[in-house]
Structure 1
Amino acid sequence: MPHSHITESEFSSIGWGIVGTGTIAARFAEDIKYVAGARLAGVSSRSLDRATMFCAQHGGIAYENYTALLDDKNIDAVYIASPNTSHFSIAWEAIAANKSVLVEKPLVTTAEEAERLRAFAAERKVFLMEGVWTRFLPAIEFVKGAIRSGAIGELRSIRGELAFRHAYDPDNRFFDPAQGGGSLLDLGLYLVSLSIFLLGCPDTVTGKWHPAPTGVDMMADIELSFGGVPAFLQCGFDRTGGNWFRIKGSRGSLFLPSPFIGARCVFEAGPVMARIIGILCRNSVTARIFSKLTRKIPIPGVKRHFFDFQGYGLQFEIGAATKAIKEGRIEAPFAPLSESIETIHILEKIRSFPSS
């Protein structure tokens, strides 16, 4: 079993191990360098060659499988970036090994699994968090603060879309039920999780979905109500959408332009300009054009708030998890497991409705 050498200066840092070598794992490895108190300690893959190549580029020790990674005492925390349907079993083993755990969204594929995993982590007093990186971005922190301060007045509604066209392929993870496919788990989760983060748990849930030939959801419409404030959310693999998110208030609106999941700016508009932007955002093409233009050119009646940062943006999620682990917490304040479970419950409820 390999062991990494820890220098005296590293004793206070959290040594992260990554399970998986895909795109999101590489982004995690790149962004961890921006986080004080965190370091990449190792990576595991189903192929030792892939893990070795990954470590040659990003650092850390290569492990032939995640069991070997979990056995190393120099691994303090684990980021699980493996296929969706493997999240539960790997997270369970990591918790059993007393490793702090951050799971790339979705936490797991069913609410029942989420409940079991949360109970096990609580029993073992081990940190567990779902990695919905959007929640931790500075732009989202600004939006939540603006809502709380009443900057846009009384809340009226939320609208959001997240859709990326994918050619149908029954073997692709997006369309394969065995790999946890479907637009709700892949895209709709961001919309629901962000809505819950901003407004709490909804009172009512309705919606509709359309299946791909494999039976997973190709697209879905989600309608939530938060104390009378409606949220209209759309996701899908059938098109490339405007991929924006809007919070409308009585005195104006906040817009997270495309792609909102990695927001680096927020547009704030009064009622008149907000109505115009709302009309533009109904069309995905005009929504993307408007977003690009407004980033570069000031638009009368639109206040721009920029939150640029280095890297991809996962460092804020990594930083929050690292801080919570160092504080001895078993959950992160801004990503409680109750909200992860509620999100999965909502996605399951949408899927329980007859398909269209």
Structure 2
Amino acid sequence: MPDKTVEPVRWGIVGTGTMADQFAEDLKLSDGAVLAAVSSRNSDKAKAFAVRHGSQISAHASYSGLLADQTVDAVYVATPNDTHFAAASAAIESGKGVLVEKPLVATSAEAARLAALAAERDVFLMEAMWTRFLPAITKAKTLIEEGAIGKVSSLQGMLAFHHPYDPESRFYSKERGGGAMLDLGVYGVSLSRLLMGDPVELSGEWQAAPTGVDRAASFTLRFKNDVVATLSCAFDHEGDNSFIIEGSRGVLVLPAPFIAARDVLECSTGFAARLATIPGRSASALAIRKLVSRLPLPGIRKHSFPYSGHGLQFEIEAASSAIRARKTSHPVMHPLDSARTLEIIETVLREENRQP
């Protein structure tokens, strides 16, 4: 149950789509945070959203109305990628803390400008990279730091969800900040950097959709101590969507979908590790991975961190705590960290398109 002993941060949500709904639902599971208002250019959508999530919520037909609302302490931006910079800038200028759905903005230059503005105005800013705040991810990082799997040698991560090509879809629109890397690739790159630091070398390739955005991409990031991350993302197929960390004495597996991790599988080397990391989406591969994740098996230790809701409550609590403490950033997800992830994506996008 939420802790009633702390003064709650009163959140306003910009947008009424899927992520806005999930954020509103998980606010109810969060300590020190409540929903105060919502805004949408469509007043009927704003009113319907307020009805769904609580009778005390103010519904605004404009973003300016939300920012003028004195009952709102902080803003969650859940609108399309191309609107993030303007929406976050306006929130910062109004003095309200802001949590921006990933990606923080569309370019690394915008991220740096936004970070500077937040620091100048002494206002909180964070990308809503919720995966970084999940207890299972924290556990994986701790296991690595404690040497549970020995010296890390490689990371492997895939995130691919099939979105049929539609030039009108935000996923395939260059103007709206579409592309697999901004929508999915940011997760793998951000998680790899959380675990290993900043890469010293990087390369990649991508395939273009007819609209010119990337429909699929792969990254190779080399970190110090010769750790190599091999990552991929795509809209043109379904992936196995797990994340694997290999070491000299064992393997850690974040089962699919790793972005919503509830478990960490700590595997000894050999047969146990091979079972836990079997690739692909064949019926047999899916069945084996399901078996490994659910049953106690020799050589595999399961660390479980079940949670209710969608898992956004952990980032909500982290952001709310930082806002109450009058901080301008959070150490787990600093805005300049977000900028560096975007720089990596931009580097790959400068590579020649490998469209078949």
Interval containing the TM-score (normalised by the shorter chain): over 0.9
What is the match of residue 291 of structure 2?
293
> Mapping of 1:199-214 within 5 angstroms?
199-214=196-211
Q: CA deviation at 1:296?
A: 2.5
Q: CA deviation at 1:292?
A: 2.1
Q: CA deviation at 1:56?
A: 0.3
What is the match of residue 321 of structure 2?
323
Counterpart secondary structure, 1:219: strand
Among 226, 231, 251, the residue aligned to 2:223? 226
> Mapping of 1:334-353 within 5 angstroms?
334-353=332-351
Task: Please say if residues 111 and 336 of structure 2, whose CA atoms lie closer than 8 Å, have aligned partners that are also in contact.
Answer: no
Question: Could you tell me how far apart the structure 2 residues matched to 1:296 and 1:275 are?
Answer: 15
User: What CA RMSD, in Å, does the superposition of the two structures yield over aligned residues?
Assistant: 1.5
Show CA shifts across 1:259-295 (max 9, x none): 1100011111111035513761255655533332223
Which consecutive residues of structure 2, in runs of 5 or more, have no partner in the other structure? Answer: none
Counterpart secondary structure, 2:175: helix
Moved more, 70-79 or 286-295: 286-295
Task: Please say if residues 242 and 284 of structure 1, whose CA atoms lie closer than 8 Å, have aligned partners that are also in contact.
Answer: no
Question: Could you tell me how far apart the structure 1 residues matched to 2:285 and 2:32 are?
Answer: 39
- Moved >6 Å (runs of 4+): none
What is the match of residue 3 of structure 1?
none
Identity of aligned residues (%): 49
2:68 is aligned with 1:64:
no
Task: Please say if residues 276 and 289 of structure 2, whose CA atoms lie closer than 8 Å, have aligned partners that are also in contact.
Answer: no
Question: Could you tell me how far apart the structure 2 residues matched to 1:10 and 1:269 are?
Answer: 41
Show CA shifts across 1:136-163 (max 9, x none): 0000010010011001100110000000
Question: Could you tell me how far apart the structure 2 residues matched to 1:349 and 1:32 are?
Answer: 36
TM-score normalised over the length of structure 1: 0.95
Q: CA deviation at 1:11?
A: 8.8
CA distance 1:221–1:287, shift in 2 (3 Å)? farther
Task: Please say if residues 253 and 276 of structure 2, whose CA atoms lie closer than 8 Å, have aligned partners that are also in contact.
Answer: no
Among 146, 149, 152, the residue aligned to 1:149? 146
Question: Could you tell me how far apart the structure 2 residues matched to 1:287 and 1:253 are?
Answer: 18
Q: CA deviation at 1:65?
A: 1.1
2:181 is aligned with 1:184:
yes
CA distance 1:109–1:207, shift in 2 (3 Å)? same
Among 33, 36, 41, the residue aligned to 1:41? 36
Counterpart secondary structure, 2:113: helix
How many corresponding residue pairs? 348
Among 160, 163, 166, the residue aligned to 2:160? 163
Counterpart secondary structure, 1:271: coil
Among 20, 29, 35, the residue aligned to 1:25? 20
Show CA shifts across 1:18-77 (max 9, x none): 000011110100001111211000000111100110110112111001110001111100
Q: CA deviation at 1:327?
A: 1.1
Counterpart secondary structure, 2:131: helix
Question: Could you tell me how far apart the structure 2 residues matched to 1:287 and 1:75 are?
Answer: 48
Question: Could you tell me how far apart the structure 1 residues matched to 2:320 and 2:276 are?
Answer: 38
Amino acid at match of 1:305: H
Task: Please say if residues 240 and 284 of structure 1, whose CA atoms lie closer than 8 Å, have aligned partners that are also in contact.
Answer: no
What is the match of residue 95 of structure 1?
92
Question: Could you tell me how far apart the structure 1 residues matched to 2:169 and 2:79 are?
Answer: 15
Q: CA deviation at 1:206?
A: 0.2
